[in-house]
Structure 1
């Protein structure tokens, strides 16, 4: 019997951006008039704040410059949480924290998730990715400055290479929550990503959890991804917060996970 772990379907990220239940008049993709062919604007309407987040994509520049399906799923959960926090899959993670929240996003790509988190939660969000991605991240943060200001959110942009302790020290560790979407993709980055999560989430002296959590939206594609989750469970308690229904012919939907530090390091 096929399970979520057995699914090996390749998913086209471009064709899965728009959920089936969204209003086409308020959520759509367009090319800017007079812009290069490779530049695409995604307009994502967020109902809870009655605002539109505009994201520039540069598909010809690589996968970090495109919107992926898990990003939309996580934004929809943030939108739901703003509208109905007591019935939100994110309630156990977000309710009870200080305000404003300090949030870190890993592998931000175009920045949609972090920008939406800042706007819906009135949070201070730091978007991070590799140095060559930073200019487009900053562009998208600036493009949504008015939406952020209106809703009490703020976005900062910083380079961060996974597995690099020096990068973590430069950014600092004063975050209440770490977010990411569709970051489990290249298998050679599994260990660097886990090391970065360890540095941000776990106590530096004994690798015990310090109350910080990582929320990750992920669309399963290949069997090899089970390696990442097996390694992750040696360091973290991993639970499923939410699973989307499959769409656009996929056999599985986006899954949202919550990672929290264990009481002790089980890596031995």
Structure 2
């Protein structure tokens, strides 16, 4: 089937999808055995799911309206970003690293890449006159100097489609982790990541950190990834724990390749990776179990009320989608579950924003 052109604001991407996935009957939420069913994986990864559009719309607003704080919008993160990413002369020390989990077609990252490319390309031009378009102009974007690497991850069976979509939208950038990313600008990489394989996750972390010149990273404990995001990834109960532990492993990973205790180093650090999770609500009773378990390791923090054009998420999407930041706890809870998601949900109900 021909690729689909999707547009948000003034940014468009071309997305190839799997024809069988588009035409299949919904079955992705059935209970499944732990062995991977290739046809089922293709069904899930081969189509663009709606939460990816919501997440992409958020990032387009964020990168278009937040200037130099675009990658550190949350107040608690902004305050600690500068000393990690900049030296004493205020020059950023390395490229930023972004990671998408369970990317499927790569839709969210395609929009993220386009938005970041736009900010770098037009930051010195005339301001936008279209009120409906993101204003990427007349602001300082730190990623424009040294660039951004966006790692777009899913199971190995899904990475060929991701690579195809990256090549269609970014024909001049890398699509795999096959060497250093010394060029400035935005580069997207299709990478395999199996949540059930911690060793493979560690190898991916090491590979991404190694893509930066050693002198920039090895002497500090800054996060291996600056921003981690995922959409519509809460599918199978048998993968809940694997996904949560993958998030923990990624959140605890640092750039200090000389320190074998990355978890300890990360927890002693002032800042960990920002993690944003967006999912469409389908079977809340089942999905709530995931969020409860997630709370053992992360605080679940709702978007600020004035974030995203003073509350677009709450006006347009809350009740059909959940969207929050996962902030790594300094100390894991003794209990296996947390009630933080239920507290968030009750807050949404209290304001008539949640069915």
Structure with the bigger RCO (C-alpha within 8 Å, sep 6+) is 1
- Aligned partner of 2:123 in structure 1 is none
* The structure with more strand, counted as a fraction of residues: 1
Aligned residue runs from structure 1 range 163-174, under 5 A: 163-172=196-205, 174=224
- Give secondary structure in 2 for the equivalent of 1:113: helix
Given that residues 231 and 279 in structure 2 are in contact (C-alpha distance below 8 angstroms), is that contact kept between their aligned partners in structure 1? Answer: yes
> Would the alpha carbon gap of residues 245 and 65 (structure 1) be closer, same or farther in structure 2, given more than 3 Å must change?
farther
Question: Quick one: distance in 1 between partners of 2:63 and 2:186?
Answer: 13
Question: Quick one: distance in 2 between partners of 1:107 and 1:195?
Answer: 14
Given that residues 240 and 255 in structure 1 are in contact (C-alpha distance below 8 angstroms), is that contact kept between their aligned partners in structure 2? Answer: no
Aligned residue runs from structure 1 range 1-268, under 5 A: 39-47=1-9, 50-60=10-20, 61-85=42-66, 91-92=73-74, 96=81, 98=85, 100-122=95-117, 123-146=148-171, 152-172=185-205, 174-202=224-252, 203-205=262-264, 208=267, 210=269, 211-222=272-283, 223-241=285-303, 243=313, 245=315, 252-267=319-334
With normalisation by structure 1, the TM-score equals 0.73
Q: Cα offset for 1:53?
A: 1.0
Given that residues 238 and 259 in structure 1 are in contact (C-alpha distance below 8 angstroms), is that contact kept between their aligned partners in structure 2? Answer: yes
**Segments of 4+ moved more than 3 angstroms:** 86-90, 93-100, 146-149, 205-210, 242-247
Q: Cα offset for 1:192?
A: 0.5
Given that residues 77 and 90 in structure 1 are in contact (C-alpha distance below 8 angstroms), is that contact kept between their aligned partners in structure 2? Answer: no
Does 113-122 or 62-71 show the bigger shift? 113-122
- Aligned partner of 2:33 in structure 1 is none
How many residues end up aligned between the 2 structures?
Answer: 224
Question: Quick one: distance in 2 between partners of 1:259 and 1:113?
Answer: 18
> Would the alpha carbon gap of residues 213 and 126 (structure 1) be closer, same or farther in structure 2, given more than 3 Å must change?
same
> Would the alpha carbon gap of residues 66 and 267 (structure 1) be closer, same or farther in structure 2, given more than 3 Å must change?
farther
* The structure with more helix, counted as a fraction of residues: 2
Unaligned runs of 5+ in 2: 21-41, 86-91, 118-147, 175-183, 207-223, 253-261, 304-310, 336-355
Given that residues 11 and 115 in structure 2 are in contact (C-alpha distance below 8 angstroms), is that contact kept between their aligned partners in structure 1? Answer: no
Unaligned runs of 5+ in 1: 1-38
Q: Cα offset for 1:128?
A: 0.8
- Aligned partner of 2:130 in structure 1 is none
- Give secondary structure in 1 for the equivalent of 2:16: strand
> Would the alpha carbon gap of residues 66 and 90 (structure 1) be closer, same or farther in structure 2, given more than 3 Å must change?
farther
- Superposed CA RMSD in Å reads 2.9
Does 211-220 or 230-239 show the bigger shift? 211-220
With normalisation by structure 2, the TM-score equals 0.57
Q: Cα offset for 1:83?
A: 2.2
Q: Cα offset for 1:206?
A: 7.9
Which has more radius of gyration? 2
